[in-house]
Amino acid sequence: MRIKLDRSGKTLLSHQLAEWLKAAIRRGDYGDGDVLPGIDEIARLANVGRNTAKRALSRLAREGWTKPTPHVGSVVVPRGVSTLMRRRILFFVNDPFYCYNTEIIADYAAK
């Protein structure tokens, strides 16, 4: 899989890459709780530098799409969850019952 970006300079590559990753999450390529590819892999797939890939992943985290987790990577936050609920989920990430907690929150948010 190659990630094609518009290199005309009208839009930052990191923004395009973040939008591409969001679209992949929306399509279901990456589901709730999945770990996105790492910085090096994304940089290779998009043929961009590591800093560009890192900025794209940081943008996803800032917007609540992912939660960066040490020694794991960028974990996809459940879709359909409100911003407030996404912020609450972030507190559960370091909990040993992470999957259990996110399922409860996702079920609650769906109601």
Output DSSP code: residue 37: P
- Domains of the chain in start order, with CATH, are 13-78 (1.10.10.10)
Q: What number of other Cβ atoms are within 10 A of residue 65's Cβ?
A: 21
Give the residue with greater pLDDT, 41 vs 107. 41
Describe the chain by its helix, strand, coil percentages, rounded to 5.
55, 10, 40
Cβ-contact 21, 60 below 8 angstroms: yes
Mean pLDDT of the chain: 80
What pLDDT shows up at residue 43?
A: 96
Q: Of 2, 32, 33, nearest to 17 (Cα)?
A: 2
Residue 100 has pLDDT above 50, yes or no: no
